[in-house]
Amino acid sequence: MKIATAADLAAVEKKAADEINNGDISVLVGLATCGIAAGANPVMKEFKAELDRQGIKNARVTRTGCIGVCQYEPVVEVFVPGKEKVTYVKMTADKVSRIVEEHLKDGRPVVEYTIGAQQKEGVTAENISLSGTAFYKKQERIALRNCGVIDPESIDEYIARDGYKALTKALTEMSPADVIAVMKASGLRGRGGAGFPTGLKWDFAAGNAADQKYVCCNADEGDPGAFMDRSVLEGDPHAVLEAMAIAGYAIGSTQGYIYIRAEYPTAVARLQIAIKQAKEYGLLGENVLGTGFSFDIALRLGAGAFVCGEETALMTSIEGKRGEPRPRPPFPALKGLWQKPTILNNVETYANVAQIILKGADWFAGMGTEKSKGTKVFALGGKITNTGLVEVPMGTTLREIIGEVGGGIPGGKKFKAAQTGGPSGGCIPATHMDTEIDYDNLIAIGSMMGSGGLIVMDEDTCMVDIAKFFLDFTVDESCGKCAPCRIGTKRLYELLEKITGGNGVLTDLDKMEELCYYIKDNALCGLGQTAPNPVLSTLRYFRSEYEAHCVDKKCPAGVCKSMLSYEIDQEKCKKCSLCVRVCPVGAINGVIKNPHSIDKSKCIKCGACVNTCKFGAIAVR
């Protein structure tokens, strides 16, 4: 069936909405990558089987995308019409029959399986639903509005939630210039990291005449610890397609490309399904909605190169070549993909577009801070109680995100730093916990927004080691085209290796700083220019840790192996001689029932004894 007019779309919307709201109980199973990995597929199968077994006809089981609470996967939400939803967490197939019996049949939620049972405050009437938890309350969902709500493999469910209405509005009621004006007024800035105003980018490309222009989507989410784009694509792929079509209309392009990393097979599969569905309905392809506008989208798979997240490198890669960046200007808006005017936006940026067109620029600009409007999605990870995907208004403080939404640090440990912006960003210390997060504030404190990965570190994390970790990453991912990045990051890494190896001296720190600024000023592309940030920000806020490594030859967090020493705590030691037997180099002296000791000159610090000792008697200092 083709949707040829706005009236056709409205008819599909009504039919789909009626089907969803037919009074049946709805069971949604979170089937994004995290959910699948945690075992959500067997849970879904069991729900279907159990409904069959019990002969229940007024309930349906559907898949959905990321619900957002990763550490509780697999997650299942039950919607009984007229009631608040109930969120079941850490689901297994065994738990299913009880939920069907008590909740679906008798209307009594199984509270001990709900998310409330996992909360500090214990179960309440409110927190048996995800929306009633502290994790959810500060959130404002725009980019993620459909994630965990609709079936990502059903275009009808997307249409039932105002899907493709923004495209219809743009094509039938607005001129391309109107669309750009709305985007500019909304204040939306690129969510990929640099924060360039989206409307302005579109305006530049619209102003350059050419026989062909391109709309690209950057789904090459390479920052380690970031999975916002994956979740949007797995949970709401049509939102990105719709936005790209709107962008195509605005700048005068008929062809779009989504460059997505091959490491995301589920997202790729769902995008392929979505593109096929949109084409079948005629919402992509020739003469969309009878307006004469044509737009097609193709997928291009990345092949594992971090630098391809940089815009010019990404375009070179779509051209099928080595993904090396090229100097700008000319900017892609003038000469991009195949030397034609091109715009490139990130997945999350696109996920905001349809809502802005529908609800207006003022609505969007009403959220956030003076220069950063709207919301931002963060992937919370690392040493934090609630790992997961959160969307908060710009201007929310780090303290609110980590302490309230994230539920603080587990295990009674102390917060040390939060890392944003991946290998291009920096570490934010406790003293800046109350900074309102937006693009400019983060840059002012030496980090950057980046794509939204937010990794929390506690007292057990060594900041020098973390800087080395990121440099290892950039050395590996440097494409090698320009010398400051290719050689500079390697030299920087070697200095960090020297320091964590216990051979650093204080003048190395100054040398590193000088080298950092040199790389920043001279590298060709964003990867190189930001590569020193992890070193600079840790030097700025955690210099004392560097000094401890260089002067005292100590690693305060107990991470850098070369500086550790292993000793036997004689009070805890039960003299069982197990460690003596597992030590691969025979460094532990002692026989059963007699005191043991470690010969430090022989010890290779492999940790085998620590792992074996049942009494925790081996102290690592």
Q: State the residues that interact with another protein by CB under 8 A.
A: 33-34, 36-38, 70-71, 73, 221-227, 230, 262-264, 300-306, 317-323, 338, 379, 381-383, 387-388, 419, 422, 453, 455, 457, 461, 466, 469-470, 476-477, 479, 607, 611
Question: What is the distance between the alpha carbons of residues 64 and 73, in angstroms, rounded to a whole number?
Answer: 13
- Pick 319 or 362: Cβ nearer another protein: 319
- Pick 160 or 337: Cβ nearer another protein: 337
Please report how close the Cβ of residue 586 comes to another protein at its closest, in angstroms.
18
- Pick 164 or 259: Cβ nearer another protein: 259
Six-digit token string for 602:
């022989």
Residue 283: what residue type?
Answer: L
Six-digit token string for 358:
């529908």
- Pick 24 or 263: Cβ nearer another protein: 263
Please report how close the Cβ of residue 319 comes to another protein at its closest, in angstroms.
5
Please report how close the Cβ of residue 304 comes to another protein at its closest, in angstroms.
4
- Pick 303 or 551: Cβ nearer another protein: 303
Q: Residue 83's beta-bridge partner residues?
A: none
Question: What is the distance between the alpha carbons of residues 184 and 404, in angstroms, rounded to a whole number?
Answer: 33
Residue 621: how many CB atoms within 10 A of its CB? 10
Q: Is the peptide bond before 109 cis (omega within 30 degrees of 0)?
A: no
Residue 467: what residue type?
Answer: A
Please report how close the Cβ of residue 344 comes to another protein at its closest, in angstroms.
16
- Pick 82 or 320: Cβ nearer another protein: 320
Q: Residue 256's beta-bridge partner residues?
A: 215, 297
- Pick 9 or 130: Cβ nearer another protein: 130
Question: What is the distance between the alpha carbons of residues 512 and 145, in angstroms, rounded to a whole number?
Answer: 44
- Pick 28 or 155: Cβ nearer another protein: 28
Contact 105, 59 (CB under 8 A): no
Contact 189, 372 (CB under 8 A): yes
Please report how close the Cβ of residue 471 comes to another protein at its closest, in angstroms.
13
Q: How far is CA 79 from CA 24, 88, 106, 558, in A?
A: 9, 11, 14, 48
Residue 568, SS3 per DSSP: strand
First-to-last alpha carbon distance for the chain, in angstroms, is 70
Please report how close the Cβ of residue 134 comes to another protein at its closest, in angstroms.
18
Angle, alpha carbons 393-220-428 (nearest 5°) = 45
- Pick 36 or 564: Cβ nearer another protein: 36
Please report how close the Cβ of residue 199 comes to another protein at its closest, in angstroms.
29
Contact 331, 205 (CB under 8 A): no
Residues 6+ apart with CB under 8 A from 199: 180, 181, 182, 183, 184, 185, 186, 188
Question: What is the distance between the alpha carbons of residues 391 and 68, in angstroms, rounded to a whole number?
Answer: 10
- Pick 354 or 609: Cβ nearer another protein: 609
Which DSSP state fits 413? P
Please report how close the Cβ of residue 262 comes to another protein at its closest, in angstroms.
6
Question: Which run of H or of E encompasses 216?
Answer: strand 214-219
Six-digit token string for 141:
């969902």
